[in-house]
């Protein structure tokens, strides 16, 4: 990385050159609607699991694109599939399908069988 | 009466015998396999039920009413009922009477399988005796009955609308072979019996036919080939039977006693599940009933096609069909056999492998538990109201419920004032039963801490899972529509009736078909206004399209279903649409042309 004379805290630095987006790319292939997310945060506001893992579909999608796989998995592991995010999504994204599909992918973006 | 042939045999019976031996052997092996595939305790339960006198009676009655008379089809559609029962019952009676003839006239031949079937060929009977003429008459009568059924079947195949079906199943190749051989069997039998009627006797159908044929045929040379054709048609039908939809005939006879014994689907493919799949007659009643069928693309995702793909083992299609379904349960409600489409699909979903499985063990519910322990309903009795996830999105229901409880002076408190855990039902619908169990354990902790004696739910999705899967035998689990109806009936809640204000009740899938609650909400609404019915209601109500059951249906596709459900609800032009499910409410509100409200809101404004 270039030296700008100041540093980001290494824990929150996102280096897009080293991020493996295989999982996100595969997800978008399987659930193309994932691309239409406008980051409005309706899902974050309504999530039943949010108090326990900070779960939010918006953050999951961002995390995937930024290579934050551990955070994504931690969030997903508390999702209860209650479907509130689907109900409030202004883009009509089938978030439950998105989450279930994502749970089926391993870190390399392969569907487990 | 005399026997025509000293050898008691003719080669033309061979196709029939081959078919018979094949189908009996196949069914026997299949039956043993299904029974062996059951889990141990289920198998025991089933076998014990087979020797319990009361169960035997119930089984015999159900098999007679369902397999032969097709009562459920009669209730749905008289034409289809007549078609099926005339073929099934008529055929059964012909076989029965054939055996009776053998027992009465040539009892020493009863060990010959083919004698009852081809009786008129081997035995020349006279219609002069009372016995003979009576039996002959009955044989012709039932043959006529079957032929009338076959005629309707042929009409149905080419113009299903005439018999009241918009759509019917597209048959597979083998199904067609079975169908055409089935159609051929009975006209051929009529021909064969007619050709020999002047020798072996006949009745009102066969004797006139025989007379007509003899006018221009003049000899008996046509008789034997026709008997051959009859036997071949029977043989072909029985040889293809295990690979066609006609497998439902033997399968249903095993399904009914098993269902009566309380066996449920435990494995997605084996045991009871496979029996249900094979019991599907592919009649296609579920195609018209399915709420997804408003869009033609979804017709191939109905239960009848799921069963077909399960038989074929087409994994890609099985996954697709299983994921799409709304799990509304209407196909089961209308199915003449009662194939559990939603349960079959849930079992398929449970089979799926995941790289990531959620775990809720780490969730600390102690703060929530201690909050309810010190509440108004704490320590001894009282009502615990669980609003559930969906009701958090429709706060008007929560407010109305709270206000009604206060007006009626009920001692109550909320289980999830600041949002709680999910009930677990959505996970179960997605086939993740293990994970759902963890949530159930967490919720139980809170419920037990409250010391309540009644658990009140305003969401049918929660209601079903709390009622069926939570070990809460000492706590009453009740849906708010039922609870308020009781409060009204006991006079604790006073509701003003507004004359002429038409209200229609939408039966939510989980509440109606899922839990059998139909009448209480209607009674409560009748106290508040003029109750009108939708076009299809009670067990046949149409899903709003918002169901959590479907994993893959998109927003646009659901919209068409919602509009269709709304059209059905507004046939009597109600002023308001009333439902008891927050999810139905939220779905309808987006598309409705008139107010949609929860039953609690209606009652609250009138009390």
B38-46 contacts: CB < 8 A, separation 24 or more? B38/B263, B38/B266, B38/B271, B38/B272, B39/B266, B39/B271, B42/B263, B42/B266, B42/B271, B42/B272, B45/B261, B45/B262, B45/B263, B46/B257, B46/B258, B46/B261, B46/B263
Suggest the residue from B422, B433, B465, B544 to mutate for an interface test with chain A (most A CBs closer than 10 A).
B422
Same-domain pairing of B474 and B588: yes
Examine the pLDDT at B378 and tell me if it is beyond 60.
no
Examine the pLDDT at B406 and tell me if it is beyond 80.
yes
Suggest the residue from B327, B356, B418, B581 to mutate for an interface test with chain A (most A CBs closer than 10 A).
B356
Hey, how many other C-beta atoms are within 10 angstroms of the C-beta on A3? Answer: 6
Cβ contact B255:B337 at 8 Å: yes
**Number of separate domains in chain A:** 1
Mean of pLDDT over chain B: 93
Domain containing residue A98: 19-104
Looking at the domain assignment, is residue B49 inside a domain?
Answer: no
pLDDT tens figures, B321-343? 999 999 999 999 999 999 999 99
Tell me what the mean pLDDT of segment B372-376 comes to.
71
Same-domain pairing of B205 and B284: no
Last residue of a domain, one of B318, B350, B382: B350
Residue B376's pLDDT is what? 54
Same-domain pairing of B331 and B375: no
**Distance of alpha carbon B441 from alpha carbon B470, whole angstroms:** 8
Q: Which of B181, B193, B185 is nearest to B118 (CA)?
A: B193
Residue B380's pLDDT is what? 63
Same-domain pairing of B131 and B265: no
Q: Which of A33, A51, A77 sits opposite B356 (nearest CB)?
A: A77
Residue B174: HSE in the Cβ half-sphere, 13 Å Cα cutoff = 14
pLDDT tens figures, B83-123? 999 999 999 999 999 999 999 888 988 888 899 999 989 98
Q: Which of B355, B427, B546 sits opposite A80 (nearest CB)?
A: B427
Q: Which residues from B are below 8 Å from A96, CB to CB? A: 426, 430, 548, 551
Suggest the residue from A32, A34, A43, A48 to mutate for an interface test with chain B (most B CBs closer than 10 A).
A48
Tell me what the mean pLDDT of segment B518-524 comes to.
96
**Distance of alpha carbon B545 from alpha carbon B555, whole angstroms:** 9
Q: Which of A81, A84, A102 sits opposite B430 (nearest CB)?
A: A81
Contact A102 B393 (CB under 8 A): no
Cβ contact B317:B329 at 8 Å: no
Same-domain pairing of B430 and B304: no
Residue B238's pLDDT is what? 96
**Distance of alpha carbon B234 from alpha carbon B185, whole angstroms:** 6
Q: How far is A13 from chain B (nearest CA, A)?
A: 25
Q: At CA B139, angle to CA B134 and CA B140, rounded to 5? A: 100
Q: Is B201 exposed, middle or buried (0-12, 13-18, 19+ CB in 10 A)?
A: buried
Examine the pLDDT at B484 and tell me if it is beyond 70.
yes
DSSP label at residue B171:
P
**Distance of alpha carbon B501 from alpha carbon B524, whole angstroms:** 14
pLDDT tens figures, B129-145? 888 889 999 999 999 99
Q: Which of B140, B144, B134 is nearest to B87 (CA)?
A: B144
Q: Which of B370, B453, B376 is nearest to B411 (CA)?
A: B376
Same-domain pairing of B237 and B323: no
Contact A96 B353 (CB under 8 A): no
Same-domain pairing of B386 and B511: yes
Q: Is B499 exposed, middle or buried (0-12, 13-18, 19+ CB in 10 A)?
A: exposed
Residue B77's pLDDT is what? 86
**Distance of alpha carbon B253 from alpha carbon B231, whole angstroms:** 25
Domain containing residue B186: 6-37+69-243
Looking at the domain assignment, is residue B55 inside a domain?
Answer: no
Looking at the domain assignment, is residue A78 inside a domain?
Answer: yes
Residue B165's pLDDT is what? 83
**Residue positions counted in chain B:** 607
Rg (CA), chain B: 30
Q: What is the CATH number of the domain that holds A59?
A: 1.10.1060.10
Q: Which of B352, B426, B554 sits opposite A94 (nearest CB)?
A: B554
**Distance of alpha carbon B307 from alpha carbon B478, whole angstroms:** 35
Between A90-104, B203-217, B257-271, the lowest mean confidence (pLDDT) is in B203-217
Looking at the domain assignment, is residue A56 inside a domain?
Answer: yes
**Distance of alpha carbon B45 from alpha carbon B266, whole angstroms:** 14
Q: Which residues from B are below 8 Å from A106, CB to CB? A: 355
Looking at the domain assignment, is residue B81 inside a domain?
Answer: yes
Same-domain pairing of B401 and B509: yes
Q: Which of A51, A84, A106 sits opposite B393 (nearest CB)?
A: A84
Looking at the domain assignment, is residue A112 inside a domain?
Answer: no
Last residue of a domain, one of B205, B221, B243: B243
**Distance of alpha carbon B432 from alpha carbon B346, whole angstroms:** 9
Same-domain pairing of B79 and B142: yes
Contact A97 B552 (CB under 8 A): yes
Looking at the domain assignment, is residue B13 inside a domain?
Answer: yes
Looking at the domain assignment, is residue B188 inside a domain?
Answer: yes
**Distance of alpha carbon B272 from alpha carbon B14, whole angstroms:** 35
Tell me what the mean pLDDT of segment B508-525 comes to.
96
Examine the pLDDT at B284 and tell me if it is beyond 90.
no
User: What residue of A is the nearest CA neighbor of B437?
Assistant: A80
User: What residue of A is the nearest CA neighbor of B439?
Assistant: A80
Residue B13's pLDDT is what? 94
Tell me what the mean pLDDT of segment B504-527 comes to.
96
Between A77-86, B160-169, B426-435, B460-469, the lowest mean confidence (pLDDT) is in B160-169
- Residue contacts between A and B (CB atoms, under 8 Å): 94
Q: Which residues from A are below 8 Å from B556, CB to CB? A: 92
Examine the pLDDT at B219 and tell me if it is beyond 90.
no
Residue B167's pLDDT is what? 85
Residue bearing the bigger pLDDT, B17 or B163: B17
**Distance of alpha carbon B215 from alpha carbon B535, whole angstroms:** 56
Suggest the residue from B358, B392, B433 to mutate for an interface test with chain A (most A CBs closer than 10 A).
B358
Residue A84's pLDDT is what? 93
Tell me what the mean pLDDT of segment B165-191 comes to.
93
How far is the first Cα of chain B from the last one, in angstroms, to the nearest whole number?
Answer: 82
Q: What is the percent of chain B with per-residue pLDDT over 70, rounded to a whole number?
A: 99
Confidence of residue A8 (pLDDT cuts 50, 70, 90): confident
Examine the pLDDT at B375 and tell me if it is beyond 70.
no
Confidence of residue A1 (pLDDT cuts 50, 70, 90): low
Question: β-pairing, B2-3 with B123-124?
Answer: antiparallel
Same-domain pairing of B119 and B268: no
Residue B122 neighbours by CB under 8 Å, 6+ apart: B3, B4, B5, B8, B10, B109, B115
SS3 call for B413 = strand
Looking at the domain assignment, is residue A13 inside a domain?
Answer: no
Looking at the domain assignment, is residue B320 inside a domain?
Answer: yes
How far is the first Cα of chain A from the last one, in angstroms, to the nearest whole number?
Answer: 39
Q: How far is B465 from chain A (nearest CA, A)?
A: 13
Looking at the domain assignment, is residue A1 inside a domain?
Answer: no
Q: Which residues from A are below 8 Å from B426, CB to CB? A: 80-83, 96
Same-domain pairing of B129 and B231: yes
User: What residue of B is the nearest CA neighbor of A31?
Assistant: B552
Residue B59's pLDDT is what? 96
Q: Which residues from B are below 8 Å from A99, CB to CB? A: none
Residue B3's pLDDT is what? 85
Last residue of a domain, one of B209, B243, B277: B243
**Number of separate domains in chain B:** 3
Looking at the domain assignment, is residue B45 inside a domain?
Answer: no
Same-domain pairing of B230 and B114: yes
Confidence of residue A10 (pLDDT cuts 50, 70, 90): confident
Looking at the domain assignment, is residue A3 inside a domain?
Answer: no
Provide the CA B225 distance to its chain's centre, in angstroms: 43
Contact A97 B432 (CB under 8 A): no
């Amino acid at each position: 990385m270039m030296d700008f004379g100041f540093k980001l805290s290494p824990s929150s630095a996102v280096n897009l050159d080293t991020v493996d987006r295989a999982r996100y790319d595969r997800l978008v292939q399987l659930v193309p609607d994932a691309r239409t997310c406008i980051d409005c945060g309706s899902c974050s506001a309504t999530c039943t699991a949010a108090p326990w893992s900070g779960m939010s579909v918006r953050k999951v999608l961002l995390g995937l694109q930024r290579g934050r796989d551990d955070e994504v998995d931690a969030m997903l592991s508390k999702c209860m599939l209650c479907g509130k995010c689907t109900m409030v999504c202004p883009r009509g994204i089938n978030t439950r399908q998105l989450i279930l599909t994502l749970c089926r992918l391993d870190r390399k973006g392969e569907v487990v069988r | 009466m005399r026997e025509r042939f000293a050898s008691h045999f003719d080669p033309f019976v061979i196709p029939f015998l081959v078919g018979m031996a094949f189908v009996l052997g196949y069914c026997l092996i299949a039956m043993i396999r299904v029974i062996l595939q059951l889990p141990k305790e289920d198998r025991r339960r089933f076998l014990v039920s087979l020797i319990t006198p009361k169960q035997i009676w119930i089984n015999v009655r159900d098999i007679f009413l369902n397999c032969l008379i097709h009562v459920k089809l009669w209730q749905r559609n008289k034409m289809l009922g007549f078609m099926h029962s005339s073929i099934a019952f008529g055929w059964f009676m012909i076989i029965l009477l054939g055996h009776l003839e053998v027992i009465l006239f040539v009892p020493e031949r009863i060990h010959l399988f083919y004698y009852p079937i081809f009786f008129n060929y081997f035995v020349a009977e006279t219609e002069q005796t009372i016995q003979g003429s009576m039996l002959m008459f009955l044989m012709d009568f039932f043959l006529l009955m079957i032929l009338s059924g076959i005629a309707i079947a042929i009409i149905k195949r080419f113009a299903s609308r005439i018999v009241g079906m918009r759509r019917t199943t597209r048959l597979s190749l083998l199904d067609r072979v079975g169908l055409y051989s089935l159609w051929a069997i009975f006209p051929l039998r009529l021909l064969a019996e007619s050709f020999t009627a002047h020798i072996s006797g006949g009745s009102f159908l066969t004797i006139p036919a025989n007379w007509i044929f003899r006018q221009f045929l003049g000899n008996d040379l046509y008789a034997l080939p026709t008997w051959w054709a009859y036997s071949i048609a029977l043989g072909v039908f029985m040889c293809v039977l295990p690979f066609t939809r006609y497998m439902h005939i033997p399968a249903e006879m095993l399904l009914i006693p098993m269902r009566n014994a309380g066996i449920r689907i435990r494995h997605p493919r084996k045991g009871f599940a496979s029996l249900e799949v094979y019991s599907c007659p592919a009649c296609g009643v579920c195609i018209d009933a399915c709420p997804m069928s408003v869009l033609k693309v979804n017709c191939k995702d109905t239960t009848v096609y799921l069963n077909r793909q399960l038989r074929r083992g087409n994994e890609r299609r099985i996954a697709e069909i299983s994921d799409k379904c709304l799990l509304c349960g209407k196909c089961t409600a209308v199915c003449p056999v009662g194939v559990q489409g939603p349960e079959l699909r849930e079992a398929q979903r449970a089979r799926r492998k995941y790289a990531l499985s959620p775990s809720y063990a780490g969730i600390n519910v102690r703060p929530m538990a201690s909050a309810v322990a010190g509440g108004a309903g704490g320590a001894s009795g009282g009502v615990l109201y669980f609003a559930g996830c969906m009701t958090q999105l429709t706060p008007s229901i929560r407010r109305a419920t709270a206000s009604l409880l206060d007006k009626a002076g009920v001692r109550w408190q909320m289980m999830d004032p600041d949002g709680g855990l999910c009930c677990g039902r959505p996970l179960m619908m997605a086939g993740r039963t293990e994970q759902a169990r963890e949530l159930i354990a967490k919720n139980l902790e809170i419920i037990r801490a409250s010391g309540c004696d009644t658990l009140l739910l305003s969401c049918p999705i929660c209601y079903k899972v709390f009622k069926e899967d939570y070990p809460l035998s000492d706590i009453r689990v009740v849906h708010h529509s039922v609870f308020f109806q009781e409060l009204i009936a006991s006079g604790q809640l006073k509701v003003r009736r507004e004359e002429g204000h038409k209200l229609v009740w939408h039966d939510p899938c989980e509440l109606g078909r899922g839990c059998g609650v139909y009448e209480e909400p209607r009674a409560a609404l009748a106290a508040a206004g003029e109750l009108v019915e939708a076009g299809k209601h009670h067990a046949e109500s149409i899903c709003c399209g918002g169901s959590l059951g479907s994993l893959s249906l998109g927003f646009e596709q659901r919209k068409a279903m919602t509009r269709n459900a709304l059209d059905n609800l507004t046939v009597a032009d109600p002023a308001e649409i009333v439902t008891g499910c927050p999810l139905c409410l939220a779905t309808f509100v987006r598309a409705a042309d008139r107010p949609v409200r929860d039953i609690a809101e209606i009652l609250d404004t009138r009390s």
